[in-house]
Amino acid sequence: MQKLKELAYAGTVAYNVMMTLYAKLGYLEKLQSLMLEMEDKGIPGDVISYNILLNAYASVPDVTEMEKVLMKMEADPLLINWSPYTVVAKGYLKAGDIEKANESLKKCENRLKGKREKLGIDMLITLYTSMGKKDVSIVYGINTILVG
């Protein structure tokens, strides 16, 4: 990263590459410090930056940090769609909080209403069934998303 800074290539993309590396290695402290460094230097984080953070915290799971990242994403309409809610739901499930996972999936459903996003709908079905919800009402709800 230092060499990139010296060569003046230290933009969002370079930070995202380093953040991805740190996330894969499980270096959450370094990941967080890079995000803070970006903020200090006025380098804007983008949807990729925040998704890297969110996925890293959800995989541990560090629910507190995961929720902080989600709140930042929700504050900026350009950073949020249905996808972060599935990541957060997985984090909650890993932490054993079925109720909050369900709330996240409801938010995901709301973001998908009227859209035909196959991946989002597949994620909903997968996560609901992993929670043990295999009833007809889930399928009906997902059909409602498709119809609008």
Residue-wise pLDDT for 50-83, tens only, equals 999 999 999 999 999 999 999 999 999 999 999 9
How much is the pLDDT for 83? Answer: 96
Rounded Cα–Cα distance for residues 78 and 125 (Å): 25
How much is the pLDDT for 76? Answer: 94
Domain that holds residue 136: 81-148
Q: 16 and 46, same structural domain?
A: yes
Q: 91 and 32, same structural domain?
A: no
CA angle 90, 123, 142 (to 5 degrees): 120
Task: Tell me the whole-structure pTM to 2 decimals.
Answer: 0.85
At 5, list the tokens.
């800074």
Model confidence at 90: pLDDT above 90: yes
Model confidence at 142: pLDDT above 70: no
Establish if 64 belongs to a structural domain.
no
Question: Mean pLDDT: which of 86-95, 114-123, 127-136, 137-146 is highest?
Answer: 86-95
The mean pLDDT of the chain is 87
User: For 134-147, what is the mean pLDDT?
Assistant: 60
How much is the pLDDT for 117? Answer: 83
Total structural domains in the chain? 2
pLDDT over 70, % of the chain: 84
Per-residue confidence at 137, pLDDT binned at 50, 70, 90? Answer: low
Q: 86 and 36, same structural domain?
A: no
Burial (CB count within 10 angstroms: exposed 0-12, middle 13-18, buried 19+), residue 95: middle
Name the nearest CA neighbour of 139 among 125, 119, 123, 118: 125
